[in-house]
Each structure stands twice: as structure tokens, then as C-alpha cells.
Structure 1
Amino acid sequence: MSEFARRFIGPIVTVCGLLIVVVNITIASAAPPVAVAPAASAAAMPVLAPSVVVILNSRDATISLIDENTYKEIGSFPVGKEPHHLMPTPDNKSLIVAAATGNELYFLDPKTGKIQSQVKDIADPYQIGFSPNQKWFIANGLRLDRIDIYGFDGKALKLAKRLPLPKMPSHMTFSADSTLAFITLQGTDEIAAVDLATQTVKWVMPIGKQPAGIYMTPDNKYLLVGVMGSDYVAVVDWRTQKIIKKIKTGDGAHNFRPQGDQRHVFVSNRVAGTINILDLNTLENIGVINVPGGPDCMEVTADGKTMWVTQRWVKQVSVVDIATRKVIKTIPVGRSPHGIYFTNRASEL
């Protein structure tokens, strides 16, 4: 278990139970400091051997474990209710799984998929994320119309504010300097910019019907927003709050995953059953991959050659050869597969 996970399940479990009622309560300062290693930079990340693929089946409330080499299921187990999204801890020694309606987080060993620990009384953690400088951690409460902002000092999390947002805060990304968090609001067709230092909404702007995934370009210049209720990605100059371009993709433009080369990013189109390849230099759609059945979350191997895709509507995961843009393998999993992760992964830039 990582030091981060140990620290989280010590004071945070108790405190979060109280924070549901008493927001201003803080973590006791008497606890001894615990060091947490920072996340490795993209250049320093080792290229790992093929590993266990972790897949969240949101409708079944289970996790499927797939061997990346053989494409065979090597395990499955129950986990909370509606596990949707997941991410590694800053020290890369644990994988956090957010069980939304279960109101809890699970910490897994990212190499084996085995449960390390469980944290209860975390209200509706639909989407989760750390700021680039790792000083902030956010949990989006889609059902509760709010986000919970935690400060992270490298040792422990402390709730800074529960911030109401109208309505259905979904996905998130951050500015490169970690001053702003950008949240898509599916219920009001907007995106919000949240000032992390003051924990206040800096601005809100209309973006299009049912925005979902949101991604900051590597140059920190534009936001890309998947407009799920339509068929395009909105390119936003976030400093002026203006949409400068709409990149036509496919119906149900939903989520993003960079290839890891700082040049290309993939966007899944759930309704169209396709994935588009966007050129980040030209902001153009340069290709399409057919992945029917509600493609959603994507994971890319460290060499940038293979992509795994969850398919929400057909209980399966597809493996795509990126060079040929063809599905080379389909793997049955549980109902409504959503989040996906493996350690042999490309950079998220």
C-alpha cells in the first residue's frame, strides 16, 4: 500500500464522516508527517512490461482484470456502487477507484489490481483529479451538483470547500500552473472555471449541449471540450472565454485520451461508435477508428501503438492497433464498462 493510501485511510476516513455535517473541521495536526513521493515526469516514466488491465464495470459494480498479453480475464470482484473513474496516486503506488453512488474510494495495487484499502463516506465521487502541482484534489459530485476541493500538502488531504455548481459537474482538467480547475456542467450546457486558491467560481460560459470530457492542450493555450449532445469538440480560448473553433467528430463526442506524443489526442464518440484522431498542432480531425457499442474511456500503451477502449453499451473492451486504425481484439467484460487503466501507459500530455 502507498504512503498516500495509508495517510488517506487514517485521519481522512474519520474526518470525512464528520465533514458531512461540520464543514470547517480540520485534520488533527498531531499526526506525524508522512512523505509522499511526487508523480514521475513523463520523461522519467519507465516503459513497463505488459501488465494487468483494470476495467470498471459501472452497472455491475465490479472490476474486471485482464492480462494485457493474453487478453484473458484473470479476475473479477465487486466494488461499491457505480465505479466510474479511476486515477493513480501521486506516488504511483496505488490506483484510486471512485465508486460514485457507493460514496467510497478504493485503493488498488496498480500492478495486480488487488484491493489495498477502502475509504467510506466520500460523497458521490464521480470524477476525481489532482492538480498538476499536486496541491489540490477534486471530487466531482455529479448527483449532488457540487465539487469537493481538498488541499494536499504532500502528506495528507484536507477539505478546503464544498462548492455548489449548477448542474451535474462531470469531467475536469486544470491549467498548467494549477491556479484554475475547469469543470464541465452537463445539466446547464456550460463549463466553469474554479479559482483553487479562493475556492470560488471565476467564470462560467456556455459551451454546447451536454459537455462531457475536457482536456487542456499541452501548450496550455486551449481547452478541448467534448460536446456529448452534439457531434463536435469545442476549442476554447479559456483566457478570453471564447469558442474559437468547432471540430466536427461524431455524435456523442465524449472523452479524451492523448497518444502520449504531445501531438495527437483521441476523442470517443459514444453515439456514433467511433474514435477520432485530432492533431493538436492544426486542431483538425485527421482520422477515424470504428469502435461500435458506445466507446468511452481509452488507455494507450507506453509505446503509443495500441489503445484499449471501453464500450459502455455492449459489455466489452476493444483493443485497437493505432497505426492501422483497426480493432484487433474484443474482450467481454461486465455491464457498462467505463474507466480503464494499466501501468504500461503513455503520458497523459
Structure 2
Amino acid sequence: MRKFFLAGLNGTAGAFAAGVALAAAAGVYSTAVHANNVIVLNSGEATLSLIDQTTHKVVATVPTGKEPHHLMATPDNASLIVANSVSNNLMFVDPKTGKTQRWLENIEDPYQLGFSPDHKWFVTTGLRLDRLDIYRYDGHDPVLVKRLPLEVMPSHMAFSSDSKTVFVTLQVSGELAAVDLPTQTVKWKTKVGKVPAGLWMTPGDKYLLVGMTGADYVAVVDWRNQKVVKTIQTGNGAHNFRSLDDGRHVAVSNRVASTISIIDEETLTNVGDITGLLPGPDDMELTADKKYLWVTFRFAKKVGIIDLASRKLIETIPVGRSPHGIYFFDRAPVTAANGA
């Protein structure tokens, strides 16, 4: 995985400059200016795709920096932040149109990103650099407070509801780390399994769910006592989570099995799998009416639309290489980026 992140470092500045020029070209947004776009990051080719949510057509392709993996809205929903991990910068785009607003340089290796629930902290994981960067957020630009070494390969994160702790998965060491935000120190680490990735906090901050990308289950962690109390069988490559916004169920993408499992957050059981998918389901987003789940297929250059009533894949949309993060403008902002 490290080779994947290091590839393309040479010539990054030139590619970045060319991308900015192309993004500014007249007409690139001419068919895309409305509020029902879906934005998808194509991490393998340094672009984002704008998809009309009504017609399901790609209406524009916009250059980004190198390896854009994750994205999330600012707390006021005025900007969408695209984290370009190899270009070491953040790209701010208009969440309605995908049009570039500005760039923020010297944000090193921003793989995953998230805001604490109280919006005082902005955190990025440096998967390539083995560290966690913690910033104060003033409503405009993050201000670096601490670069905290955190091995090995920190990837996904989740926050406690009181904004005091950020939890981070360490993919190579197979650990879950808890970092105290006020003091910017590691409180503890605990082993959870092989290649832990996505994190999900259950209601009331009771348990953390951890997707085991190196295995076929989700680990249930009693984080207050720092131990795995249960495993939930899903599918090979359990990876990332998305709430179904019904107060009880969360979806987990199984990237190797090419399935999506539905987990009941109360009983902590797998209540059903969505099969018949394309290779590499990863990040997911829910439509405002909660009827359809959109998913990026990392290994198929496509985005899929799943009808949740029938649990069937009903449509696919071609996008760029290695599609990863996905965002709907008509969804409310969240604190941690959806996806990994």
C-alpha cells in the first residue's frame, strides 16, 4: 500500500499546476451548476466526477491534486474539502457545483480527515507518514497544533461525542489508538485484528465498530475497557461504514467479498447482505429520501446505485479510475469523512 501512495510523487508540482489551469478553463462547469450533483473522487487519476443525481450522467470531470481519497463538507456546508494525500494539500470546492474555490498548501499527507463534533478540531491521518496531524479550526483555515507520530499506517477515525477523543485505526500493527485532543497525546492502543480500517461509533458512544479489511468481520470494541467484546461476521475485506439513517442500522462495505452487510446497532448482528455487486465496494452515501445507497467500486471504475427496498444493484455509472470518496450536496454535514 505504501508503494501506491509514493507512486507519482515525481512531477506532482507540474501536475498540480496543470490541474489548476484545466479547472479554470471556460465551460468545464457549464452543464453542472445545480444543487443535486453527486461528487465522486477518482483517486487513481487525480480528478473528481460530477454526476447529475437526477439523470445519473457525469456532467463534468474536474482535476484535483494527486490521490484524492477522502472528502467532507466544512461545518457550515459552504465548502467541500478534498484531501489530496500525495500533493500535500487541500482543495476547497463549491459543494453545489464542484467548482474550485481555493487551495490550502502544506497539509502533509492528508489521507483521511475529520472535524470533531464541536468543530474546534480538524484532524488528518497521514497513512504514508505514520502520524496524526491535529489542527485548531477557526471557521476558515486549520491551524496546526501537533504532529503526533502514530504507527503503523493510521487510516480511519471516529470521534467521541464530547469531542475529547479521536479514535484511529492502525492498519499494519492491527491496533486501535485513542488520542486525547486537548493534550494531543496517545491515551492507549489495543490490538483489534488484521488490517483494521473503517470506524463507527454506535448510539450513546457505547461501542466502536471496526471494519477488518484483512479478515471477514467487524470487531465490536468496548473502548472504555479497551477490548474486543464481540465479532460480527460480514464478508472478506470488511472496510467502511455508512448509517442508513433509521436510528438502528449501519451498512459496511466488504471490499474483497464485493458485498455490503447491514448491521443492527442494537443487537450487534448482521441482519442481511447485499450481493451481486461489482468488485471493490468502498465508500457509500445515502439519498435524502433514504431509498437508495450509492457506492463507489474501487476496482471497477464505476459508481453503483442500490435500491434498499429490494437490496439490489439497479444501476452503475462509469467514472474515473479507483473511485473512492462520494458526497451528496443535499446531505447534512458529518464530523468524519465517509470512506477510506
Matched, 1:72 2:40: no
Change (3 A) 1:225 1:247: same
Alignment partner for residue 317 of structure 2, among 316, 322, 331? Answer: 331
CA–CA distance in 1 between the matches of 2:306 and 2:78?
Answer: 27
**Matching residue's letter, 1:98:** A
Determine the structure 2 residue equivalent to 1:297. Answer: 283
The alpha-carbon distance between structure 1 residues 259 and 50, as it changes in their structure 2 partners (threshold 3 A), is: farther
TM-score by length of structure 1 reads 0.84
2:107 and 2:142 map into 1 onto residues whose CA distance is 12
Distance 1:203 1:141, change over 3 A: same
Unaligned runs of 5+ in 2: 1-33, 336-340
Shift of 1:348: 5.6
**One-letter code aligned to 1:240:** N
Could you give the per-residue CA deviations for residues 66-113 of structure 1, whole angstroms, max 9, x where no partner exists?
001111010002111000000000110100000100111111111111
Match of 2:142 in 1: 157
Distance 1:114 1:50 in 2: 12
Q: Please say if residues 136 and 142 of structure 2, whose CA atoms lie closer than 8 Å, have aligned partners that are also in contact.
A: yes
Partner of 1:319: 305
Q: Provide Cα deviations, 1:262-318, integer angstroms capped at 9, x if missing partner.
A: 211000000000000111111110111122210000000122111100000010000
Structure 2 counterpart SS, 1:219: helix
Match of 1:307 in 2: 293
SS of 2:205's equivalent?
A: coil
**Paired position in structure 1 for 2:326:** 340
Matched with 1:24 is: none
Q: Which moved more, 1:337-346 or 1:279-288?
A: 337-346
The structure 1 segments of at least 4 consecutive aligned residues displaced by more than 3 Å after TM superposition are 153-156, 346-349
Identity of aligned residues (%): 61
User: 1:127 aligns to what?
Assistant: 112
In the alignment, which residue of structure 2 is the partner of 1:52?
37
CA contact (8 A) 2:74 2:333 kept: no
1:201 aligns with 2:186: yes
Q: How many residues align?
A: 301
Q: 1:301 to 1:237 in 2, by over 3 A?
A: same
1:254 to 231, 235, 239: 239
Q: What is the deviation of 1:157?
A: 2.6
Which of 70, 93, 97 does residue 108 from structure 1 map onto? 93
Structure 2 letter corresponding to 1:174: F
Q: Distance in 2 between matches of 1:346 and 1:195?
A: 27
Q: Counterpart amino acid of 2:174?
A: D
Query: Cα distance, 1:156 vs. partner?
Result: 4.6
Q: For 1:89, which of 67, 71, 74 is the aligned residue?
A: 74
Cα distance in 2 for partners of 1:112, 1:157 equals 23
Q: Kindly report the root-mean-square deviation, in angstroms, between the aligned alpha carbons of the 2 structures.
A: 1.4
Offset of residue 134 of structure 1: 0.7
User: Distance in 2 between the 1:347 and 1:264 partners?
Assistant: 19
Segments of 5+ residues of structure 1 without an aligned counterpart are 1-48
* Partners of 1:157 and 1:71 in 2: CA distance: 34
Structure 1 pair 348/217, CA: closer, same or farther in 2 (3 Å)?
A: farther
Distance 2:254 2:303 in 1: 15
